[in-house]
Amino acid sequence: MSGANGLLDWDDLRHVLSIHRHGTLARAGASLRMDPTTVGRRLAALEQRAGVRLFERSPEGWTATAAGLDLVRRAQCVEDEVLAAERELSGANERLSGTVRITATEMLATRFILPHLWRFHDRYPDLTLDLICSNRPLDLARREADIALRLTRPKQPSVVARRLAEIELALYASPAYLARKGAPPEPDRSLRGHEVILFGASRAFLTENEWMEARLDGGRIALRADSVTAIYAATAGGLGIGLLPRAVADGDPTVQRLSTRSSPEPRVIWQMVHRDLHKAPRVRAVLDFLSELLQPPAPSRTAKTRGASRPSS
């Protein structure tokens, strides 16, 4: 599609798609890693060659014209084919080298994965991991990431998903906070007289917030945060009582678990990879390592036998 005498090439289509998706030259330039002025010049040159306006500019941003929308639809089809070809080539690469891009929530990355990455590096010294800490769902089909770890079940038909583990949550406070304020006598029923840390008021944290709010009983909300990492830091810092993942907090001396008979429904860690990539050796190496880290070990036959032979009391 490119050529010295051609009207369009793939770069032109990339610019059109980015302007359409992001609405401004500044955001389009950031996504393309280009100066916004260069993006504007490329668009102007394309419109001049085509003899038609593709975008209208307004205070709200850049909006595609009818001709622009037609080109966007065709450009999306071309992009799908280019990305499919890239995935197939990448999936056919048998070498255990190169870069694998992972996206995960900040808590999963900082508390569950990063402390153990030295083992991965020792095992695969020629593989580089590109880690994106974000709650934003990245598009695996568009190669925004190769592997995603998320706390919601994926729905995309082109994704191979695996349920890795459950994250159990419990109430915690720092030793300094408990020395200052004392522990609630019945934290399962009431947090009256205490400072409480809640998740951000969004649908993503509805289950956790409803569980906490049912136990507030006049307790004061000291902080709301949409980041589990922020809640962990605030709890460890002595601000108040918060819900933290047991797999991490139970071994952390900066926080102390409060005894309760119930807990919120556990979160599920889902591992996702595009079906074109899940058998690529370099991607497979990362998937297997993540499974080692996050999947609970299966009970041994010896443990089962001992449990079965123990006399009842």
Taking a C-beta distance cutoff of 8 angstroms, is the pair 228, 208 a contact?
A: no
**Which range among 21-25, 195-199, 253-257 shows the weakest confidence by mean pLDDT?**
21-25
Mean of pLDDT values over 10-17: 86
Whether the pLDDT of residue 13 is over 60: the answer is yes
- Rounded to whole angstroms, what are the CA distances from 259 to 167, 172, 234? 18, 9, 20
Query: For residue 153, how many other CB atoms are within 10 A of its CB?
Result: 10
Full-prediction pTM beyond 0.75? no
Looking at residue 131, what is its pLDDT? 93
Mean of pLDDT values over 211-231: 94
Whether the pLDDT of residue 170 is over 80: the answer is yes
Taking a C-beta distance cutoff of 8 angstroms, is the pair 94, 126 a contact?
A: no
Looking at residue 306, what is its pLDDT? 35
* pLDDT per position as a tens digit, 271-283: 999 888 878 888 9
pLDDT category of residue 313 using cuts at 50, 70 and 90: very low
Strand order in the sheet with 159-167: 127-133, 98-104, 147-150, 267-274, 159-167
Domains of the chain listed by start with CATH number: 10-91 (1.10.10.10), 94-166+267-294 (3.40.190.10), 169-257 (3.40.190.10)
Name the strand (E) or helix (H) holding 12. helix 10-22
- Which range of 2-16, 49-63, 252-266 scores highest in mean pLDDT? It is 252-266
* pLDDT per position as a tens digit, 68-125: 898 988 888 887 777 766 666 655 555 678 899 999 988 899 988 999 999 999 999 9
Whether the pLDDT of residue 139 is over 50: the answer is yes
Interatomic CA distance for residues 9 and 6, integer angstroms: 7
Mean of pLDDT values over 182-194: 95
Mean of pLDDT values over 122-131: 93
* pLDDT per position as a tens digit, 37-69: 899 898 998 988 888 999 998 888 899 999 989
Looking at residue 311, what is its pLDDT? 33
Looking at residue 224, what is its pLDDT? 96
Q: Is 294 helix (H, G, I), strand (E, B) or coil?
A: helix
Burial class (CB in 10 A: 0-12, 13-18, 19+), 3: exposed
